[in-house]
Structure 1
Amino acid sequence: MQIPEIPNLIHFAIPFFIATVILEVILTISIKSKEYELKDASTSILMGLGNVFIGLFTKTIILGVFLFFYKFRFFTIPFVWWSWVLILFAEDFTYYWFHRISHESRFFWASHVVHHSSKKYNLSTALRQTWSGSFYTFAFWIPLILIGFHPVMVLVQISISLIYQYWIHTELIDKMPKWFEAIFNTPSHHRVHHATNPQYLDRNHAGIFIIWDKLFNTFEPEVEQPKYGLVKDIESYNPIKIAFAEWYLMFTDFLTSKTGIINKLKYFTKPPGWKHDGTGISSVDLRKEWEKKNR
């Protein structure tokens, strides 16, 4: 099977990202909104540039690992039109579970927290990406390789998903048409995902299709005004601190907690905020507490 060379779509999208951020800034100023803060937006852009730079190296590693596992595939899915339809849904289903677990397991949250660290919600927030996740989170997509999707197809679809998710990081779009809101991830759905309101915590993990959240009971509609950021904010514009703060805190908890090895290891697998002595409050606990009071 001859595999066509397909360029990294993210690199080609960078001029579009820059142009639309500038456009959003202009529109935001024109309606006198306070959603743009220079330090915050600059940090997001620096985090995005760092992610792209690191990606120049990790993409080679990821492709190598994918090609290794491709040798052990169960089937061979050809480069034809229907396979791109399959990979669209298969990759999005994979992304949903990766994204959900990134909120439910501190080991994966340590890299994903970067994307949620801004107290603002605009297109520049979409560019605030991890510097560490590229080294290990690709493992979630290995099952697609074993099924028989070629690594190039998987990597291209991952890029398409990320590009799609860029435009939903805005408050300038209220609601899309009802049919669109019912099927696809939208600015309204994703504002919920970035919010720290108790009822919004760990909801709407969708990439392109919101159907997975509805199917697996993690969907929450946008009702009250979202409050953005983290349950406990990092309170810094330093990209290095934002990139590695949670890693430092996680390993500190692991090394200093006076408990057995099993409980120590739970600092990697349990949700952020969990403590072995029961003193910690995770986002799961906050949401359950809200549900008891309101439902």
Structure 2
Amino acid sequence: MKAVTVPRFGGPEELRVTTVPDPTPGPGQVRIRVYAAGVQPVDLAIREGRAPYGVELVPGLTPGNEFAGVVDTLGPGVDGWAVGDEVLGFRVLGCAAELVVADADRLVRKPAGMPWEHAGALSASGQTAHVGLTALKVGKGDTVLVHAAAGGVGTVAVQLARAWGATVIGTASERNHDHLRALGAIPVGYGEGLVERVRAVAPQGVDAAFDLAGRGALEASVELVADRSRIGTVVDYPAAGRLGAVGVRGERTAARLAELVGLWEAGGLRLEIAGTFPLERVADAHRLVGTGHVRGKVVLVP
């Protein structure tokens, strides 16, 4: 099969598409022919040699941690899945490839009407948003501030918080303000004066803040949210430790992913695709994500 590999850590130019042996599923595992695989900022960090929490990196690895495709081989002891099933799921590394092996309990059935690009881009951003909002106890009646609300995680976080009964204020560049309004959020611009702009649209105060941007977002959040246990980040862990905020981490689960799929089926979750690329253009996909101004997700389509 063809797979994206990182023979040497560095910039996008270090990425290669290589022919490697087809993977074989072990007990309790399923092999999937990949139709779509999302690209996240964490993939760029991995390419550069910066390991996420709990992950060991070695040269030659294949990045990617979410996928959608068709089951083509069952490992020993697998029940509930059949060859030909359309699924979406997740694993740590290995998804930017034509074939991927995953644990059977990390798969969810793909709705017939869900586009492949959406299915391949839902797990990582969707579950990150779910984990973060859950950790911050966002719920009915809250006002929550989402930094970088137009990105992959932010787009889901806005809609999930709205589905849970919260009012959402989202930071974004001016060109994405109409997009946030369409998702049900109140947009505000980045940069100097952010705290004052948020106070102007939320005179009742802000109950929680979810940082997906870094670049001083936590410092602004502590001026707006009284309870620092309800301020969280997935990008600026050093600042979280310094300020007494939450460095959000959590396990992805099929149950969490299934909840997100159900919300999509009910019409409560829109997914935005900023671009699709074949494996051979993986470097361009990484460059686009690296601009930091992507609306929604970038997806590889093997």
TM-score between both structures, scaled by the size of structure 2:
0.23
More helix by share: 1
More strand by share: 2
- Compare relative contact order (CA 8 Å, sep 6+) and give the higher one, 1 or 2: 1
TM-score between both structures, scaled by the size of structure 1:
0.24
